């Protein structure tokens, strides 16, 4: 769990970045309609959560900064017995004041009047300029004469790049649940089942372990389905002799995990499947072994492309010199995506990849990124030996950068051919 003092520290770090005579405002997420009058389960805005740990709707965090002092203020919705009967308990101002280490807590209903007061003597407004939140639009209307509006979001995103010890613990907890889910998928009998059955088994494990949700819609893709990178239909039968690509991770206490394993329906890899699988696996292991502070992600990307391309030439999937193939980008047909991304409160954590001078940010202790090479060969690709057609393989782990190397946070999840085959119930 993250202590209130840590949230306070984060707010102080953010406030330090605001110039004197500034007001900073961040709104909670707005509820998302699913259809007609039903809603998706409410999920707090990631930046708002990062700064407050507060899960309620209709809240505002405000920074008031002058040359001499910083005031942090929250607005929360009022307690209302009738509404709470329908949608659950609200913290209310009194409880919020004793929980959050902020200077003042007001009612959300008073926001507009207070805000007008706050901006009177301020020169700069920092808000989520690019957001579509309707509350923000109202604020922008109230401040249309203000010349100096700035985006507060990049300042927060930059902070989210380096994970604290307590964040790393939460990511580990999220991964531990996801590990159980992948092992469940590997070990159940798959005969006669559909992709959605495996999805249900995985998500059963998430829910049984108190994970709020999946961090993204689970991909359970059998055979050629795996060649659709964002396949989420999950509605096909599991065919004997095919591989299943499972990209699934839970969100637990607002922290994501993002793991992919590719397993055989029958429990046993065929020889061609093994050849392709081991190429992806060896590439992934090699890339992980290169990870340490000061290494650049683009360097990992380049190495992965070289290793996969060389391997595909050996298997007769690509022809020619690897340098020429890469120069002409021909390998992208089979490995079209990136080597990985930041992960944290969001599965694709929106922390920056480049600094203010547009230079790539090298890896540093405390960053968490995924490493996920893959090879995807369409069933109708006649330029490839038939034995490899209709196979899509990705292997994805979540990696923490440490002082002088890295730690694979998901290394407990079966990954070698032998480990996966040993878990299968035939």
Rank residues 140 and 229 by Cβ distance to ligand GLY and give the closer one: 229
Intra-chain end-to-end CA distance of the chain, in Å: 40
Annotated catalytic, 372? yes
> Is 247 one of the annotated active-site residues of the chain?
yes
37 is catalytic: yes
Residues of 50-60 as b/e, b for ≥16 C-beta within 10 angstroms?
Answer: bbbbbbbbbbb
Residue among 216, 277, 376, 388 flagged as catalytic: 376
- Is the separation of the CB atoms in 196 and 234 below 8 Å? yes
Site size for Mn ion (CB under 5 A): 4
Q: Give the H/E segment covering residue 256.
A: strand 255-256
Among 203, 214, 258, 398, binds Mn ion (CB under 5 A): 258
> How many angstroms separate the CA atoms of 415 and 194, rounded?
23
361 near 352, Cβ under 8 Å? Answer: yes
Only segment of 44-52, 73-81, 351-359, 368-376 that touches Mn ion (CB under 5 A): 368-376
Active-site annotation holds for 258: yes
- Closest approach, Cβ 67 to ligand GLY, in A, equals 44
CA–CA dist 73, 316 (Å, integer):
63
Asked if residue 111 lies in contact with residue 96, where contact means CB atoms within 8 angstroms, the answer is no
Look up residue 240 and give its DSSP letter. T
Is 218 a binding residue for Mn ion by CB under 5 A? The answer is: no
Least distance CB 215 / ligand GLY (angstroms): 8
User: How far apart (Å, rounded) are the C-alpha atoms in residues 152 and 128?
Assistant: 6
Residue in 37, 117, 356, 404 annotated catalytic: 37
Footprint on residues 213-252 left by ligand GLY (CB under 6 A): 216, 247
CA within 13 Å, CB half, 338: 10
CB of residue 271 to ligand GLY, shortest distance in Å:
28
Q: How many binding residues for ligand GLY (CB under 6 A)? A: 7
Residue 256: CB minimum distance to ligand GLY, A? 9
Neighbours of 25 (CB within 10 A): 23
Stretch that binds Mn ion, among 139-147, 148-156, 366-374, 403-411 (CB under 5 A): 366-374
Q: Phi first, then psi: what are they for 392, rounded to 5°?
A: -130, 130
Interface with ligand GLY (CB under 6 A), residue from 203, 214, 251, 258: 258
Nearer to ligand GLY, 76 or 413 (CB): 413
Q: What angle do CA 238, 240, 242 make, to 5 degrees?
A: 75
Specify the residue, 221 or 312, whose C-beta has the smaller distance to Mn ion. Answer: 221
- Report the alpha-carbon distance of residue 348 to residue 344 in Å, rounded: 8
* Partner in contact with 216, chosen from Mn ion, ligand GLY, none, beta carbon below 5 to 8 Å by kind: ligand GLY
**Whole-angstrom Cα distance, residue 141 to residue 150?**
15
Chosen residue from 56, 195, 201, 372 binding ligand GLY by CB under 6 A: 372
Nearest to 201 by CA among 216, 187, 221: 187
Sites of contact with ligand GLY (CB under 6 A): 216, 247, 258, 341, 347, 372, 396
Sites of contact with Mn ion (CB under 5 A): 247, 258, 370, 396
Question: Known catalytic residues?
Answer: 37, 230, 247, 258, 337, 341, 348, 372, 376, 394, 396
């Amino acid at each position: 769990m993250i202590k209130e003092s840590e949230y306070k520290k984060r707010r102080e770090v953010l406030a330090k970045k605001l110039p004197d005579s500034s007001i900073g405002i961040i709104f909670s997420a707005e509820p998302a309609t699913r259809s007609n009058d039903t809603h998706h389960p409410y999920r707090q805005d990631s930046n708002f959560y990062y700064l407050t740990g507060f899960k309620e709707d209709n809240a505002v965090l405000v920074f008031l900064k002058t040359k001499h002092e910083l005031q942090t203020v929250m607005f929360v919705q009022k307690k209302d017995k009738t509404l709470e009967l329908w949608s659950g308990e609200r913290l209310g101002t009194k409880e919020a004041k004793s929980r959050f280490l902020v200077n003042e807590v007001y009612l959300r209903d008073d926001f507009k009047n207070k805000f007008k007061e706050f901006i009177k003597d301020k020169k700069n407004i920092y808000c989520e300029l690019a957001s579509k939140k309707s509350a923000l639009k109202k604020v922008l209307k109230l401040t249309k004469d203000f010349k100096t509006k700035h985006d507060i979001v990049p300042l927060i995103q930059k902070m989210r790049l380096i994970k604290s010890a307590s964040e790393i613990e939460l990511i580990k907890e999220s991964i531990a649940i996801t590990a159980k889910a992948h092992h469940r998928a590997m070990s159940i009998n798959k005969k006669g089942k559909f992709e959605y059955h495996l999805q249900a088994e995985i998500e059963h494990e998430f829910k049984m372990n108190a994970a709020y949700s999946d961090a993204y819609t689970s991909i359970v893709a059998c055979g050629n389905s795996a060649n659709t990178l964002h396949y989420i239909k999950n509605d096909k039968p599991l065919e004997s002799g095919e591989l299943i690509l499972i990209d699934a991770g839970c969100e637990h206490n607002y922290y994501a995990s993002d793991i992919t394993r590719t397993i055989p329906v029958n429990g046993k890899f065929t020889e061609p499947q093994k050849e392709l699988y081991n190429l992806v696996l060896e590439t992934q292991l090699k890339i992980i072994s290169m990870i340490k502070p000061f290494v650049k992600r683009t360097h990992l990307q380049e190495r992965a492309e070289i290793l996969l391309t060389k391997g595909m030439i050996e298997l007769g999937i690509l022809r020619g010199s690897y340098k020429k193939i890469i120069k002409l980008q021909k390998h992208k047909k089979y490995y079209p995506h990136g080597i990985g991304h930041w992960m944290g409160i969001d599965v694709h954590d929106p922390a920056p990849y480049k600094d203010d001078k547009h230079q790539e940010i090298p890896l540093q202790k405390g960053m968490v990124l995924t490493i996920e090479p893959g090879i995807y060969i369409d069933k109708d690709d006649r330029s490839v030996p038939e034995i490899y057609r209709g196979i899509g393989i990705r292997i994805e782990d979540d990696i923490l950068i440490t002082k002088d190397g890295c730690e694979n946070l998901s290394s407990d999840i079966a990954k070698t051919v032998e480990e996966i085959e040993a878990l299968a119930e035939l």
